[in-house]
Amino acid sequence: MSSDERLIAEIAALRKERNAVILAHNYQPGIIQDIADLTSDSLELSRKARETNADVIVFCGVHFMAETAAILNPDKVVVLPNASAGCAMADMITARDVVRIREDYPGVPIVTYVNSTAEVKAESTVCCTSANVNRVVASFKEEPALYLIPDQNLALYAARHTDKTIHYWKGYCPIHHRLTAETVRRARDAHPDALFVAHPECRPEVLDLADVVTSTSGMLRFAKASSHRSFLIGTETGILHALRRDNPDKVFYPVSTEMVCPDMKKTTLADIARSLETLTPRVHVPEEIRLKALRAVERMLQI
Ligand code: 13P
Ligand code: SF4
């Protein structure tokens, strides 16, 4: 038995003993995706976290994702197997910044990408993910203007799908923001038959070159349903594992092999086994912040 096989067996036994569910984001390492009960995008993972009957949620992703699960499940134990897995974009705005935005833009609803801290969510009107941002924006029927935080690229993407004025914070995901139109053009020249599928966290000039713009699970659904055979993938490379596993007859190329999120790659099998054994590192949100953040997350889930 290899050490991975031993750890996988250990995780299976502990998962049962603890009545735990293992949720993994689509960017997690392949081996983690394979042992998870559900691998998906931020929206579906939030939904699953709300619906689960498990006592323990092991969130294989980054801190804000486990925090969202904790916001929705105050009575469950939520663990993030590697406590240092954070999100560079979530760290680009603070709750204080949001309070200042509210003062500067009185009456303008604040739409906050789930890639944000609980404190930031607590100061927001509603949350959104890359999968539902346009629906969330459209749900504000009367308001002529909205303020989107913290991702400028997601905000500019949303602005293309609405007549409302979209104000935005100038945060970004370093992994998606560094992808240039020039890199996409080169990749397209190398694979002229491939469809280019991009994540809304990419720059507008990159999205201009895309055949499809969608969330990570949107990419999985699109690739499966498409009669096309080859695809250039414009997001974090972890998703290639699921794309290739689900579509053995199709070909997937990363648009850039540099699109790797180091925080998403921190989770190991040993971390998960330890988390199940010790129920640490536990993610806990102070009740006052949790209740305020819950309003914004619930409002999103109801849309
Ligand atoms: P989605 O899986 O919701 O598309 O999110 C992408 C992301 O950046 C998560 O960190
Ligand atoms: Fe944050 Fe970008 Fe990593 Fe997602 S891919 S966790 S947005 S830094």
Ligand closest to Cα of 239 equals 1
Cα 235 to ligand 1 centre (Å)? 9
Any ligand 2 atom below 6 A from CB of 35: no
Tokens standing for residue 131: 């999968």
- Write the CATH number of the domain with boundaries 90-172+290-302: 3.40.50.10800
What does CATH list as the number for 3-86+264-284? 3.40.50.10800
pLDDT in tens, the chain (303 residues): 899 999 999 999 999 999 999 999 999 999 999 999 999 998 899 889 889 999 999 999 999 999 999 999 999 999 999 999 999 999 999 999 999 999 999 999 999 999 999 999 999 999 999 999 999 999 999 999 999 999 999 999 999 999 999 999 999 999 999 999 999 999 999 999 999 999 999 999 999 999 999 999 999 999 999 999 999 999 999 999 999 999 999 999 999 999 999 999 999 999 999 999 999 999 999 999 999 999 999 999 999
Annotated domain spans of the chain: 3-86+264-284, 90-172+290-302, 179-258
Residue 210's CB: how many other CB atoms inside 10 A? 19
65's tokens? 């994702």
CATH 3.40.50.10800 correct for 179-258: yes
DSSP 255: S
Task: Supply 160's token pair.
Answer: 């293309």
Given a contact cutoff of 8 angstroms between Cβ atoms, the answer to whether 109 and 149 are in contact is no
Domain 3-86+264-284 matches domain 179-258 at the CATH topology level: yes
Question: Which of 25, 87, 215, 260 gets mutated to test ligand 2 (max ligand atoms within 8 A of its CB)?
Answer: 87
pLDDT in tens, 75-112: 999 999 999 999 999 999 999 999 999 999 999 999 99
Per the CB < 8 A criterion, the answer to whether 234 and 199 are in contact is yes
Q: How many helices and strands, by DSSP H and E, does the chain display?
A: 15, 12
What is the structure's pLDDT at 163? 98
Q: Is 41 in the pocket of ligand 1 (CB under 6 A)?
A: yes
The minimum-distance atom of ligand 2 relative to the CA of 61 is: 6
The DSSP output letter for 108 is -
Q: Which class for 224: exposed (0-12), middle (13-18), buried (19 or more C-beta within 10 A)?
A: exposed
* Cα 214 to Cα 192: distance, rounded to the nearest angstrom: 21
Measured from the Cβ of residue 261, the count of other Cβ atoms closer than 10 Å reads 23
217 token code pair: 């699970």
